[in-house]
Amino acid sequence: MTDVKAGVEYKINVDGNSFLLDSKKFRLLESILDTGSLTAAAKSIDVSYRTALNYIDKIESSLDVKIVSTTKGGKGGGGGTSLTEEGYSILKECKKINAIMELHKDVNEIEAEVINVDDAKGVMTIKMHDFEINAPLNRNYEVGDKLLALISYDNIFLMLEPQTSSIRNILKGQIVEMRLQNEVIRVKIDVGGVYLFSDITLSAEKELNLSIGKEVFVGFKAMSVATLKL
């Protein structure tokens, strides 16, 4: 079984200067925000105080901005380290990326083929098994290209009847499995021999009165389809 893991790096750009912030340096900034202490933050990521200070120096010199502010205490202590406005802004943007990645970590993966490219509308039609869907146009693709279509579980909507809306892709299927996972119902739908998964709330499951064997319509916007050329 192949196991592939990727480390996260955040490319930070400030006024034309850039820096690749790895997960350890991200956790250092996060811990500074939480503890107000560089010493405590260094300990939390298991590095020395000097190493943590070097991390900060590298980020600041590369971006040419101050990301932390240090105050010295008197004889009784009271000093500390805090993030500057720029440092907090960088951490906030990284956290936003984390939240998006967490939200879309579960995706449907479907092998497909490009059968039409519509430059005027900015979409392409891809075919998988016996059905076709629309996806955003990628001008690097040509008719006949094989690709992998990726659709997040939470971008799949379930309907009892097809509805007029901005959703470009509506397909008929049948529920073959339902599982409760962390207060969310994960529904597996057979759509013409292809299995699609959708995560819905408990209230939505009750409102739609879903059950195994029930016929439903799955819908998702063209813009929610990401593609990777094979």
The pLDDT value given to residue 94: 86
Beta-bridged to residue 74, according to DSSP, are: 77
162 φ, ψ (degrees, to nearest 5): -65, 140
Cα 51 to Cα 230: distance, rounded to the nearest angstrom:
42
116 φ, ψ (degrees, to nearest 5): -160, 145
The pLDDT value given to residue 117: 93
The pLDDT value given to residue 192: 86
- Say whether pTM exceeds 0.95: no
Closest CA to 194 of 100, 124, 123, 109: 109
Other Cβ atoms less than 10 A from the Cβ of 42: the count is: 21
DSSP tag of 163: -
Other Cβ atoms less than 10 A from the Cβ of 10: the count is: 18
Average confidence (pLDDT) per 10 residues, the chain, 230 residues = 58 89 91 93 94 94 93 62 93 81 75 92 89 88 92 91 84 95 91 92 93 95 88
The pLDDT value given to residue 121: 86
The pLDDT value given to residue 75: 46
Sign of torsion over alpha carbons 145, 150, 23, 29 = positive
Find the largest Cα–Cα distance for the chain: 76
Beta-bridged to residue 14, according to DSSP, are: 17
Closest CA to 177 of 162, 187, 169: 187
Other Cβ atoms less than 10 A from the Cβ of 227: the count is: 20
Other Cβ atoms less than 10 A from the Cβ of 41: the count is: 25
CB–CB of 171/156 below 8 Å?
no
21 φ, ψ (degrees, to nearest 5): -90, 115
Token pair belonging to 7: 């480390």
The pLDDT value given to residue 187: 96
